[in-house]
Amino acid sequence: METRELRYFVAVAEELHFGRAADRLGIAQPPLSRTIAQLEHRLGVALLTRTSRKVSLTAAGAVLLAESRAILGAVAAAERRTRTVDRPSLVLAAKAGGSGELLAKLLDAYAAEPGAVEVDLLLCEAHTSQPLLDGRADVALLHEPFDSTAGLDVEPLHTESQFAIVASSHPLAGAERLRMADVADLPELVRWPEPDGSYLPGPGVEVHNLTQLFQLIALGRAVAVMPEVVRPGLGEGLAAVPVVDAPKVTTVIAWPPHSRSRAVADLVRVATGFS
Amino acid sequence: METRELRYFVAVAEELHFGRAADRLGIAQPPLSRTIAQLEHRLGVALLTRTSRKVSLTAAGAVLLAESRAILGAVAAAERRTRTVDRPSLVLAAKAGGSGELLAKLLDAYAAEPGAVEVDLLLCEAHTSQPLLDGRADVALLHEPFDSTAGLDVEPLHTESQFAIVASSHPLAGAERLRMADVADLPELVRWPEPDGSYLPGPGVEVHNLTQLFQLIALGRAVAVMPEVVRPGLGEGLAAVPVVDAPKVTTVIAWPPHSRSRAVADLVRVATGFS
DNA sequence: GGCAGCGATACCCGGCCGGTATCGATACGG
DNA sequence: CCGTATCGATACCGGCCGGGTATCGCTGCC
């Protein structure tokens, strides 16, 4: 299996449409059809079921899609790491708006290290682990249990409890403390995007980032349960009420398991040092 | 980067010789030279330094070699998992001669599970984690701290202390208990192969598997420190003496982080259930 | 039943992959 | 010090494969 075939397959599996997939790949549709057919032939398994109106994934196709994404991510990561080995630098992914203070402390402490290299920040709206898997980043600050840490090495840094963020005018804003049951079935709960950027069907507003979320909450259109770190970022018109039985959130530093980078090891050591 | 290029590069990086690498790949030397040169050109980095007498890896080349091995392993794994999704089966890697009883218990308990699939055993001489990384196995029984568990999800099953295995006629055979210092610099210690099958230079006999090792020990040519599990497999002429300060050995069950297989989850649950 | 959308098929072209022949450099032996 | 063997690079050629256009066949829909 060549990465070209995997790229082609991922495009078709994601679009579920040969024409659009070919378009996205910048090639014509017939060679794409042919390549997928060859791939299926060599594997001896059907990856897609096609009628002339609809394309869908088989079980084998679903497996290969997941595997292919991981592989293509690893290839991109390998490429970047190979390219940048001579001019060392470090890309740190973090959630925009989250863990501001921790991040500042970490960057300062690391910069004071002997042999520290330049650190580039990659601020994500959501799915902070994604850049780690596709090679855009070397290290990430993640929040368990929200972010997936599958396939990554992690060290916990900090654990904190969660708060309900509501509009000041919301009936719950005056409460001393809340329980999950108090917020679990409010109609104003929101939906975050899936890793591929799509949204599962269901009730609640589709939300892209924290700023947008806070605006919605201030307007009384949404309610969210979030860790303590976001509190300093709350503006006017928002209130944070402790949710005593919400799961604790752990901030972890994560990196790819095979990382041999001196810089990553230093940063992790510094981070765990003052946790 | 195509997997073809990575396969070619790995061959050259491992052989450090274009001719032999081309031979191993079943192609002629000139296209191999050309492909590597193209790869370097596209990456904008030198991967190898060549004189007409010697080829060696650059820092970038060392990085790409490690990454490439992981990628090629992931590709092979993806292929096998995609192929076998419709006729589910499970390949379990374990060290030949190690953990025999635990293995039998595990297989029996899993077979009794509803929805259990066929389990194929892959018995390894050493480096049991390798088949997991290159896709030949779905689950493995590993022994920390001997086996590398980098990049794998693990659950500990069992911890045990270590014994020195010596010939009955050996001066140490009569001891009640030993310390690491007693065996650390015996001339009869052995060398195990590296993951690539080669042996680091140094003193001691090169050893391939347990049977061979036991034979060497019985002949008084070797001494080894090993976990308790091997005891039942010891034959005549061998003695096991506790080494009180040797690191504890933990048997773990390990699987690739992105595994979505129902069968793997079941097996892990069964294994951790009776640990 | 005509039509539009979509994947498959047929066929052609150009580039790339792999082959052979050879060169240039280097270590080594006489 | 020079001949020689070894090894990677270069030059050049042929065939295959990846990508293009044109078209077919099927299917759901007005």
Q: Are residues A151 and A254 in the same domain?
A: yes
**pLDDT recorded at residue A32:** 93
**Quick check: A123 and A96 in contact, CB under 8 A?**
yes
Q: According to the 3-state scheme, what is the secondary structure of A66-118?
A: HHHHHHHHHHHHHHHHHHCCCCCEEEEEEECCCCHHHHHHHHHHHHCCCCCCE
* More confident: B17 or A217: B17
Footprint of strand D on the protein (CB under 7 A): A 4, 26-28, 30-31, 34-35, 38, 51-53; B 17-19, 29-30, 33-34, 36-37, 50, 52-53, 55
Please indicate, yes or no, whether residues B114 and B43 belong to a single structural domain of this protein: no
Higher pLDDT, A259 or B30: B30
A99 has a pLDDT exceeding 80:
no
Q: Does one domain contain both A166 and A152?
A: no
For residue B246 the two structure tokens come to 């040797």
Closest among B51, B52, B142, B60 to B94, alpha carbons compared: B142
Mean pLDDT for B177-181 is 84
Cα angle for residues B185, B188, B194 (degrees, 5° grid): 90
Q: Report how far residue B10's alpha carbon sits from residue A60's, in angstroms, rounded to the nearest whole number.
A: 29
Rounded average pLDDT over B20-37: 92
Provide the pLDDT for residue B208.
76
Residue B3 pLDDT greater than 90, yes or no: yes
Which pLDDT value is given to residue A100? 66
User: Comparing A202-206, A224-228, B138-142, B246-250, which segment has the lowest mean pLDDT?
Assistant: A202-206
**Tens-place pLDDT, residues B126-137:** 778 778 877 788
For residues B235 and B265, the model is more confident at B265
CA B186: distance to chain centroid?
25
Rounded to an integer, what distance in angstroms lies between the CA atom of residue B8 and that of residue A196?
Answer: 33
Shared domain for A133 and A259, answered yes or no, is yes
By DSSP bridging, strand A162-167 and strand A153-160 are unpaired
The pLDDT of residue A247 is 85
Contact B45 A79 (CB under 8 A): no
> In terms of DSSP bridges, do strands B162-167 and B238-242 run parallel, antiparallel, or are they unpaired?
antiparallel
What pLDDT is recorded for position B13?
A: 92
Residues A30 and A147 in one domain: no
Alpha carbon of A254: minimum distance to chain B alpha carbons (Å): 12
Measured between its terminal Cα atoms, the distance across chain B in Å is 44
A54 CB-contact burial (10 Å; exposed 0-12 / middle 13-18 / buried 19+) = exposed
- Rounded to an integer, what distance in angstroms lies between the CA atom of residue B220 and that of residue B204? 13
**Where residue A11 falls among pLDDT bands split at 50, 70, 90?**
very high
Q: Residue A220 has what DSSP assignment?
A: T
- Which of B52, B81, B110 is a domain's end point? B81
Band (pLDDT 50/70/90 cuts) for residue B35 is very high
Q: Is the pLDDT of residue A166 over 90?
A: no
A218 pLDDT band, cuts 50/70/90, is confident
Give percent of chain B with pLDDT exceeding 70.
89
How would residue A21 be classed by pLDDT, with cut points 50, 70 and 90? Answer: very high
Indicate if A113 and A137 belong to the same structural domain.
Answer: yes
A89 and A154 housed in the same domain: yes
Please check whether residue A206 is in contact with residue A191, taking contact to mean a CB–CB distance below 8 angstroms.
Answer: yes
Residues B129 and B183 in one domain: no
Q: Are residues B10 and B61 in the same domain?
A: yes
In this predicted structure, what is the pLDDT of residue A153?
Answer: 82
Q: So what's the pLDDT on residue A197?
A: 61
User: Are A168 and A237 part of one and the same domain?
Assistant: yes
Q: Indicate the pLDDT class of residue A38, thresholds 50, 70 and 90.
A: very high
Of A64, A81, A98, the domain-final residue: A81
A150 contacts in B (CB within 8 Å)? 153, 257-258
For residue A275, pLDDT over 70 is answered with no
Same domain, B28 and B59: yes
CB contact under 8 A, A258 and B81: no
Taking the C1' atom of every nucleotide in all shown strands and the CA of A54, the nearest one is C6
Q: Report CB contact under 8 Å: B81, A74.
A: no
The answer to whether B251 and B142 are in contact (CB under 8 A) is yes
Same structural domain for residues B89 and B156? yes
Distance CA B81, CA A48 (A): 16
Beta bridge partners of B160: B249
Please name which of A64, A95, A69 lies closest in space to residue A213, comparing C-alpha atoms.
A95
Does residue A126 or residue A97 have the better pLDDT? Answer: A126
d(CA B66, CA B86): 32
Structurally, chain A folds into a number of domains equal to: 3
Task: Return the DSSP state at A275.
Answer: -
Percent of chain A exceeding pLDDT 70 equals 90
Q: Looking at the predicted structure, is the pLDDT value of residue A105 above 80?
A: yes
CATH number of A54's domain:
1.10.10.10
HEC assignment per residue over chain B: CCHHHHHHHHHHHHHCCHHHHHHHHCCCHHHHHHHHHHHHHHHCCCCEEECCCCEEECHHHHHHHHHHHHHHHHHHHHHHHHHCCCCCEEEEEEECCCCHHHHHHHHHHHHCCCCCCEEEEEEECCCCCHHHHCCCCCEEEEEECCCCCCCCEEEEEEEECEEEEEECCCHHHHCCCECHHHHHCCCCCEECCCCCCCCCCCCCEECCCHHHHHHHHHCCCCCEEEEHHHHHHCCCCEEEEEECCCCCEEEEEEECCCCCCHHHHHHHHHHHHCC
Distance A49 CA to C6 C1' (A): 14
Position B275 pLDDT exceeds 60: no
pLDDT of residue A7: 94
The pLDDT score that the predictor gives to residue A97 is 63
Q: Which domain does B12 fall in, by range?
A: 3-81
| Percent of chain B clearing pLDDT 90 (strictly above) | 16
Evaluate if residue A122 carries a pLDDT over 80: yes
Q: Which residues touch strand C (CB under 7 A)?
A: A 17-19, 29-30, 33-34, 36-37, 50, 52-53, 55; B 4, 26-28, 30-31, 34-35, 38, 51-53
pLDDT in tens, A71-90: 998 898 888 888 888 777 78
Which chain A residues are Cβ-neighbours of B65 within 8 angstroms?
A: none
- Tokens found for residue B41: 């050109």
Q: CATH number, domain at B152? A: 3.40.190.10
pLDDT in tens, B87-115: 777 888 888 766 667 888 888 898 888 88
- Non-local (6+) Cβ contacts of B156 within 8 A are B144, B250, B251, B252, B275
